[in-house]
Copies of this chain bind each other. A is one copy, B any other.
């Protein structure tokens, strides 16, 4: 079963291996994602043009594809990178930002789902949209649907794609279609900083890269680390400006004691 102590072991493995995580991430949050990976102890490389993504996947230990702020050119690069990762056995994570809210993104996310992602992480609306449900579009890239409401959709999507699916929100649920790990860490103020969800997807790629855990547990470990770091960061933060940088410090400082003391799973 998933545990804080296995998460701590896996985090140490990430810090030792410093896995190269190829991160194709939207323009809004790519700086935050790069800093999150560096704070954790991984090494980001953020190539995003069709001319180089296949070469970068070939040297990477994992790939994350985040579809926010897409363009036809970046969508083409995402598909090349996903196919290359699947062909080489490089684990890869799909972050379907805005799926369900905008047709171009829904279509792109559905296309990428068919390219054998190892894991998919999204909010309630995004996961429900990919599972074929009708979702409220009026919140844009924020979710109109809670993670609990989306759990059934997450299970169905996991079964259909053969991927681990994480639906994150006040509670994070991670499932492979059968098992479910639920993480109750985090803080509502984290939603006031852009890119925290994107960081979660990238950390999932880093934990998948480091190996030693089943994919479900690796994704859950990443989200537990983010949730614990985020709630520790939020505790002394008067607002999201402080939370933003304290989150990076917490990812850097996080240790087994803090994980053991704060973990709320089940």
Listed in ascending order, the chain A residues whose CB lies under 8 Å from chain B are: 20, 22, 26-32, 34-35, 38-39, 43-49, 51-52, 55-56, 59-60, 68-73, 98, 101-105, 137-142, 191-195, 237-242, 244-253
Contacts and interface: CB of A to CB of B under 8 A. Distances in A.
B47 A98 contact: yes
A244 B35 contact: yes
A118 to B, nearest CB: 20
A45 B140 contact: yes
Output the residue of A30, A191, A239, A244 with the most chain B CB within 10 A. A239
| Protomer copies | 3
Contacts of A240: 35, 38-39, 248-249, 252
A60 B45 CA distance: 30
A194 B44 contact: yes
Given A31-B194, A38-B192, 12 more contacts: A20-B140, A27-B46, A35-B193, A35-B241, A39-B240, A44-B194, A52-B70, A52-B105, A237-B249, A238-B249, A239-B252, A241-B244
Given A29-B31, A47-B69, A52-B104, A59 B137 contact: yes
A53 to B, nearest CB: 9
Contacts of A51: 70-72, 104
B52 A102 contact: yes
Nearest to A254: B239
Contact of A20 (B52, B68, B139, B250): B139
15 contacts: A20-B140, A28-B30, A34-B194, A38-B193, A39-B241, A43-B139, A43-B141, A44-B194, A47-B98, A52-B103, A52-B104, A239-B249, A239-B253, A242-B245, A244-B245
Contacts of A73: 71
Contacts of A35: 193-194, 240-241, 244
A75 to B, nearest CB: 9
Contacts of A102: 47, 52, 55-56
Contacts of A39: 192, 239-241
Contact of A238 (B30, B103, B142, B253): B253
Q: List 6 tightest A-B contacts by C-beta distance, closest first.
A: A241-B248, A239-B249, A45-B140, A241-B245, A239-B252, A34-B194
